[in-house]
Structure 1
Amino acid sequence: MARILVADDDVDYLTAFSEGMEVLGHDVVCASSSEDVNRILSETKFDAIFLDVVMPGGGAISLVHSVRQHDSEVPVIVITGRPELINSPLFRDGMRQAQAKLQKTATLQELDSLVRRLTE
């Protein structure tokens, strides 16, 4: 299974996501700020990284570049729970360094399937 970093400032979502993925056999590390992400990336290598679009201190927009400085190959998945962002040019066309972009309404099975596909 995959070693996954999940960065999100929504504690409830972060808990549900990490617990669900762990039940499916993945090893999940959580971060709730951009500072946490940068610290964790300097210490650990991951098979996949999920980044929330909006977080205090910077979300996926700035973090995807930081991730690439640490690991140019790791799959990055951008997530958002903000419906107003889903159809925005930023989410739809931007963040080209991300391998996937998802709404937080994605099911656990969809998340697991995506991780398995991107880490094969």
Structure 2
Amino acid sequence: MEAANKLVSFGMRAANNNTVISVGLVGAFFALSARSMHQQNTIEALEAEKASLIKSNKATKQTMWDWKQQLYSEADSDSALVPLSRLRAIYGESPTPPKIAEEVTESARAKFVV
């Protein structure tokens, strides 16, 4: 009981002491400053990664566009394995010919045979 009373009285004196309060506030300020710096560094790293990903995505889109154009130019020749009209239908750039629509419908029916 005596120890508890001494502990309580020490706590009351510390709570009324401006030095203890100031040290606590300065400690909290430094802790918040350190956390803020860490968060700022994380934000900067994420922004750099975002810029890198955007650049990579643009390069990938350009490469895919180039490949698609090359595929179209190869399909436009006489010795093409897949005709240009079929490629355009696959990529959704022209209306689907009835033959392709019939093939899709027949394959869908075959899958649902009971």
The structure, 1 or 2, with the larger RCO (C-alpha pairs under 8 Å, 6+ apart) is: 1
Superposition TM-score, scaled by structure 1 size: 0.21
* Bigger Rg, which one: 2
More strand by percentage = 1
